Amino acid sequence: MNISPGFFYVFAGTSILFSLLVILNRSAIASAFSLLVVFFSFAGIYALLDAHLVAALQVLIYAGAILVLFIFVIMLLNVEQASFDYKRGRILTGVFAAFGAFGMVFLLGRVFRSGSAPLQPGPFSPENIQAAGGNTRVLSELLFSEYVLPFELTSVLLLAAIIGSVVLAKRGVIEKKSKEAK
């Protein structure tokens, strides 16, 4: 009962369609909601690949936390329609877009050309993971043993980013207050 390929095309199709909607939508909030669907389709694809933990974390973190923040920002700034002046940066944007598209095509070409040789499967085949107690266990064991240093460093990096953003946001407020005090 292999039903995965059908579902893969459904999820892949949805993610491509809604990725396009993210950039083509005029309303910022509609873009954000399209991005939500994209995250969901990605989670679906991860789940089809038996990576249930990655799928759950994708939904929990990206869809459940980060995107909520995006939407908060959009709602608070009230950017209803595109406030960006398209005419001013048209040439520069065009040049950047052309470079980006060219780079993308180049990368895809490289990937597919070297993809003629069969890929070597790693040690973590679905059977091995099943035998070791499911992928939540395997992944967390790796995360807290072999990769504990990069993992902790990432969290420090995120903490630094949070403190940085708070400092930047508070700077104006503090200066204003000290001026008022004078």
Partner 1 sequence: MSVEWVAVLAKTGFVITMLLSVAPVMNWVERRGAGFIQIRRGPNRVGPFGLLQTVADAVKFLFKEDRVPAHVSPFYYFIAPIVVLVPACMTFAVIPFAGPITIAGQVIPMQAADLNVGFLYIFAIASLGVYGLIMGGWASNNSFSILGSMRSSSQMISYEISLALSVVGLVMIHSTVELGQMVKLQSEALLSFGPIVIPRWGIFVQPIGFLVFLTAVFAETNRLPFDLPEGEPEIVGYHVEYGAMKFATFMMAEYMNMAVASGLAVTLFFGGYQLLPGMGTVLGALHLQGSTQDWIRVLFEIISFTVKIAFFMWFFVWVRWTLPRFRYDQLMDLGWRVMFPLSLANICVTAALVYKGWV
Token couple for 179: 């001026």
Residue with tokens 């893969």: 8
Select 65 or 97, whichever has its Cβ closest to partner 1: 65
Minimum gap (Å) between residue 27 Cβ and partner 1:
9
Minimum gap (Å) between residue 67 Cβ and partner 1:
8
Select 110 or 137, whichever has its Cβ closest to partner 1: 137
Check: CB of residue 45 under 8 Å from CB of residue 65.
Answer: no
Give me the residues that bind partner 1 (CB under 8 A), please.
1, 29, 33, 36, 52-53, 55-57, 59-60, 63-65, 68, 71-72, 75, 134-137
Select 137 or 176, whichever has its Cβ closest to partner 1: 137
Residue in 36, 32, 33, 40 with CA at minimum distance from that of residue 10: 40
Residue in 66, 46, 65, 48 with CA at minimum distance from that of residue 56: 46
Minimum gap (Å) between residue 64 Cβ and partner 1:
3
Check: CB of residue 31 under 8 Å from CB of residue 18.
Answer: no
Residue with tokens 């780079």: 103
**Coil, helix or strand for 86?**
coil
Select 27 or 93, whichever has its Cβ closest to partner 1: 27
Minimum gap (Å) between residue 68 Cβ and partner 1:
6
Select 26 or 182, whichever has its Cβ closest to partner 1: 26
Distance CA 177, CA 182 (A): 9
Check: CB of residue 11 under 8 Å from CB of residue 44.
Answer: yes
Minimum gap (Å) between residue 160 Cβ and partner 1:
20
Token couple for 75: 């709602």
